[in-house]
């Protein structure tokens, strides 16, 4: 039976889940995988936390040098988060001839090329299933399950915090601040929620997923990003009445025009399968030219779901002598030959507060017409005295044309404010 020694860098929520799975299922892995996987050492500065999880004092390493010099360690698991010292530790492990498994999407999105270059040099594995969508095996599907396809699009709810917040706003009519506080109280959102609510976390993930889906490096600089902190509960309610559900989506599309990758709040039809993905759950929808549509759904975070993905990588690395590296040009700036869509096309929802005067709607419609934007639907709701709210749904239009048109509309003396501006995917 093959023996596999692992080291765990960080024993927080995810690291604790990994340790639990590996220790409690050791006999199960012997029986089902033919592998005897042992936790040889743990690097955790909070010694008491490690001891409370059942780690023996002799197993706790004092520093990274002690970890990488251990001849019994074959695979290093990095679950520390952030870019430093995680990057330095991972590089030391790779340089020492250890395979690495990581759940660190920020590290991977920002330094993938550098880490892979070192892994190639040392002919060791660099695995990252847990970096995107927690326990949902999306990386393995893209690498090993979709080879017969040219993937046309990848679209998903890939951040559980924002999905929870938007779910509560939709179901309970809560405003953004109230829903955020509830998410923080339950541990879904950090004390500083910026990475989640402003779309950075989803940007790291869609950068990685789109790179694999489209066989071309998609740097985070190539991703359009917009978060949910400006979302108004009224827009969610109006959208719902018009047949739409609001989600923060990571979107990647590939066409003859190039690669289009974005993260932003998005209205989708209520019957879209992603619309029913609620609370902290995640889901990814793929479209391949051969297979058609596929959707993967599950827990996007948490100690055991993420730990499941990490242990899956450990087992995969232990059982495969040939290491997987990206088949595309994976350098820091990506491939200069890759064409990206700079001005994407979408449908739009626009909510405006206007003076309740005759001819206002005609003036607004005139600005859309000048921008060569076709209106699909218009709704007018009464507001406070002498004011009205107008909601416009457009047909597909260029982002640049919409932005210019919104500027023109805001400048009209009859328009008090543009209160909502949300893209629509159908």
Residues labelled catalytic: 205
Name the residue among 146, 107, 98 with its Cα closest to residue 126.
98
In a 3-state reduction of DSSP, which class is residue 401? helix
Bridge partner residues of 266 (DSSP): 247, 423
Within the chain, what is the greatest distance between any pair of CA atoms?
82
List alpha helices for 326-424, DSSP H.
Answer: 360-370, 399-410
Q: Identify the DSSP state of 187.
A: T
Name the residue among 373, 375, 362, 350 with its Cα closest to residue 414.
362
Spatial separation of the C-alpha atoms in residues 415 and 387, rounded to whole Å: 10
Spatial separation of the C-alpha atoms in residues 177 and 99, rounded to whole Å: 43
Bridge partner residues of 127 (DSSP): 101
Q: Give the total residue count for the chain.
A: 426
360 contacts 413 by C-beta, under 8 angstroms: no
8 contacts 39 by C-beta, under 8 angstroms: yes
62 contacts 42 by C-beta, under 8 angstroms: no
Q: Identify the DSSP state of 324.
A: P
């Amino acid at each position: 039976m093959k023996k596999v020694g692992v080291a765990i860098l960080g024993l927080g929520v995810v690291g604790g889940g990994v340790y639990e799975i590996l220790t409690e299922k050791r006999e199960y892995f012997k029986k089902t995988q033919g592998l005897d996987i042992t936790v040889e050492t743990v690097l955790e500065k909070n010694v008491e936390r490690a001891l409370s999880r059942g780690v023996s004092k002799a197993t706790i390493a004092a520093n990274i040098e002690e970890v990488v010099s251990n001849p019994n360690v074959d695979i290093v698991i990095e679950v520390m988060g952030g870019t430093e010292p995680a990057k330095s530790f991972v590089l030391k492990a790779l340089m020492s001839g250890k395979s690495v498994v990581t759940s660190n999407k920020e590290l991977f999105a920002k330094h993938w090329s550098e880490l892979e270059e070192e892994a190639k040099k040392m002919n060791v594995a660099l695995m990252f299933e847990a970096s995107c969508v927690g326990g949902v095996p999306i990386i393995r599907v893209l690498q090993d399950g979709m080879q017969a396809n040219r993937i046309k699009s990848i679209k998903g709810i890939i951040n559980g915090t924002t999905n929870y917040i938007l779910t509560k706003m939709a179901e309970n009519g809560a405003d953004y601040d109230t829903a955020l506080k509830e998410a923080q109280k339950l541990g879904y959102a950090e004390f500083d929620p910026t990475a989640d609510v402003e779309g950075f976390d989803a940007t790291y993930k869609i950068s990685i997923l789109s790179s694999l889906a489209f066989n071309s490096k998609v740097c985070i600089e190539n991703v359009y990003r917009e978060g949910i902190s400006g979302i108004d509960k009224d827009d969610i309610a109006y959208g719902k009445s018009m047949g739409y559900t609001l989600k923060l989506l990571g979107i990647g599309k590939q066409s003859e025009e190039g690669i289009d990758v974005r993260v932003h709040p998005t209205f989708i039809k209520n019957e879209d399968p992603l619309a029913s993905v609620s609370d902290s759950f995640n889901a990814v929808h793929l479209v391949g030219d051969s297979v058609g549509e596929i959707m993967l759904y599950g827990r996007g975070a948490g100690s055991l779901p993420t730990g499941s993905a990490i242990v899956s990588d450990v087992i995969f690395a232990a059982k495969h002598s040939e290491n997987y590296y990206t088949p595309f040009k994976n350098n820091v700036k990506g491939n200069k030959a890759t064409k990206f869509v700079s001005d994407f096309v979408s449908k739009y929802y626009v909510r405006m507060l206007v003076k309740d005067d005759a001819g206002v709607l005609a003036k607004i419609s005139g600005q859309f017409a000048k921008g060569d934007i076709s209106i699909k639907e218009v709704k007018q709701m009464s507001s406070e005295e002498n004011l009205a709210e107008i909601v416009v749904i457009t047909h597909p239009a260029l982002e640049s044309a919409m932005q210019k048109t919104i500027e023109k509309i805001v400048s009209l003396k009859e328009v008090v404010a543009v209160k909502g501006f949300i893209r629509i995917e159908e």
